[in-house]
Amino acid sequence: MNGFILGVAMFILVLVGALLYRVWFGPTAIDRIVAANAIGTKTTVLLVLVGLLFDDVGMFVDFALAYGLLNFMGSLAAARYFQRSEKRAEAGLRHPLPVRSKEDAS
Amino acid sequence: MSLFFDLLSGSMMITGLVFFVGTVTGMLRFPDFYTRMHAGGKGDTLSTILILLGAAIHVFEDFFYDPLQWGVLLVMVKILAIAAFIMLTSPTSTHALMRAGFEDAHEADETVVDKDQDGPSLEELQSGTWEERS
**Has residue B6 been placed in a domain?**
yes
Residue A87's pLDDT is what?
61
* β-bridge partners, A99: B108
> Can you tell me the distance from the alpha carbon of A87 to that of A91, in angstroms, rounded to the nearest whole number?
6
Q: Do B125 and A95 touch (CB under 8 A)?
A: yes
* Residue B7 within any structural domain of the chain: yes
Q: Are B16 and A10 in contact (CB under 8 A)?
A: no
Question: Residue B33: inside a domain, yes or no?
Answer: yes
pLDDT at B126: 60
Residue A49: its chain B contacts at CB < 8 A? 51, 55
Q: Which residue has the higher pLDDT, A58 or B1?
A: A58
Residue-number span of the structural domain to which B76 is assigned: 2-127
Please indicate, yes or no, if residue B133 is contained in any of the structural domains: no
Give a yes or no: residue B81 inside a domain. Answer: yes
| Alpha carbon distance A1, B130 (integer Å) | 60
Q: Which whole number is the average pLDDT over B105-122? A: 67
Of A48, A87, A98, the CB nearest to B52: A48
pLDDT band at B64 (very low <50, low <70, confident <90, very high): confident
Cβ pair B37:A34 closer than 8 A: yes
A 10 A CB-CB count for B107 gives 18
Give how many domains chain B has, as a whole number.
Answer: 1
Compute the distance between CA of residue B48 and CA of residue A85 in angstroms, rounded to an integer: 32
- CA of B37: how far to CAs of B11, B41, B97, in Å? 27, 6, 9
For residue A56, the chain B residue with the least C-alpha distance is: B75
Give the pLDDT band of residue B133 (cuts 50, 70, 90): low
Report pTM.
Answer: 0.82
Given this model, what pLDDT does residue A90 score? 61
Residue ranges in chain A whose pLDDT is less than 70: 84-106
User: B134 pLDDT exceeds 60?
Assistant: no
Judging contacts by C-beta atoms under 8 Å, the chain B residues touching residue A52 are 55, 58-59
Which of B58, B100, B128 is closest, CB to CB, to A93? Answer: B128
Q: At what angle do helices B2-29 and A29-53 cross, to 10 degrees?
A: 160
